[in-house]
Amino acid sequence: MEMSPDAEKSGVCDSSVDYKGRVPLRSSTGCWKASLFIIAMEFGERLSYFGLATNLIIYLTKVLHQEVKTAAKNVNYWNGVTTVMPLLGGFIADAYLGRFITVLASSLIYIVGLVLLTMSQLVPRLKPCDPSSCGRSLRPHEVFFFLAMYLISVGTGGHKPSLESFGADQFDDNDAGERKKKMSFFNWWNFAVCTALSVAVTVIVYVQETVSWWLANVVLAAVMCFSLMVFVGGRPFYRYRASEGSPLTPMLQVVVAAMAKNTFLFLRMLENSMRSRKRGSRTRGSSTILVS
């Protein structure tokens, strides 16, 4: 990428680009100008996640009337999927989509999950009730509910490996001042996560248990939508890194090269062994002739 003399003086030379594909200017991109938008996105996502995960087993036992054993199993399944999904999300972000697009796509999936979760509480045919009193099956509500929760797992899988790394991309490690600001960024990042957790386990849980579950879901969906708008609003200020291709490719190349080398060494050893045997046979044959 060619740079003008002005870009060399004020541009960031770490392979990142701005939203128009140009060398980003240090004065108008990155650092806190971009990081605040990213921290706001993290706050909204963590608030939604902890707001749902904290009281999940209570919802399954009190609203869906599941036994504690069944509810605990469903919670473990959901936690397991949510834990594994970032492996896939990180791979897609690094190999194909890039971090910004991955966060954007996963946020939309996340919001779809929150909307379905809210619909499962508000649509008359989907609203949960006590089957013994309303004479209606909970099956439609369960389908919508678990579909929504697993969509949220997919959304979390895109956020966890991409958003924090995207925030770190806003700081140039070659600049001493930006390196110092980067350390401060992670402090504020953890502050946002802890604040979201605190609000989720107090305010959101209080609304769920004393007011209504649907209102809590509406609040979470609204916060997530607002956070996404804030995140997209910071697009002109971000520094972007291009996807680097599949990380599996160099790994497979190393494995294939190692296998080829081992195969070559094995064939070489086998050939030497056969030659040694032939020489031994000839020596024994010569000794027999001499004795005769």
Summarize pLDDT for 46-65 with one digit per residue, the tens.
Answer: 999 999 999 999 999 988 88
Q: So what's the pLDDT on residue 265?
A: 72
CA distances from 196 to 49, 147, 220, 223 (A): 9, 24, 11, 11
Domain at 15-237: CATH architecture: Up-down Bundle (1.20)
Q: With a threshold of 0.85, does the pTM exceed it?
A: no
Flag the least confident range among 59-68, 193-202, 208-217, 245-254. 245-254
CA distances from 278 to 185, 195, 236, 271, 275 (A): 71, 78, 75, 11, 5
Q: For residue range 169-202, what is the model confidence (pLDDT) as tens digits?
A: 999 888 888 888 998 999 999 999 999 999 999 9
Mean pLDDT of all residues belonging to the chain? 85
Q: For residue range 91-127, what is the model confidence (pLDDT) as tens digits?
A: 999 888 889 999 999 999 999 999 999 998 888 888 8
Q: So what's the pLDDT on residue 250?
A: 65
Q: How confident is the model at residue 275 (pLDDT cuts 50, 70, 90)?
A: confident
Q: How confident is the model at residue 80 (pLDDT cuts 50, 70, 90)?
A: very high
Q: Is residue 45 over pLDDT 90?
A: yes
How far from chain centre, in Å, is Cα 95?
A: 13
Q: For residue range 113-166, what is the model confidence (pLDDT) as tens digits?
A: 999 999 988 888 888 877 667 767 778 889 989 999 999 999 999 999 999 999
Q: So what's the pLDDT on residue 94?
A: 87
Q: Is residue 264 over pLDDT 80?
A: no
Beta bridge partners of 25: 11
- What percent of the chain shows pLDDT beyond 70? 84
Of the candidates 2, 21, 272, 33, which has an alpha carbon nearest to the alpha carbon of residue 170?
Answer: 33
Q: So what's the pLDDT on residue 249?
A: 60
Q: How confident is the model at residue 284 (pLDDT cuts 50, 70, 90)?
A: low
CA distances from 246 to 94, 106, 120, 163, 270 (A): 7, 19, 39, 19, 37
Q: So what's the pLDDT on residue 3?
A: 42
Q: So what's the pLDDT on residue 171?
A: 92
Q: Where do the structural domains in the chain lie, given as residue ranges?
A: 15-237, 247-292
Q: Is residue 5 over pLDDT 70?
A: no
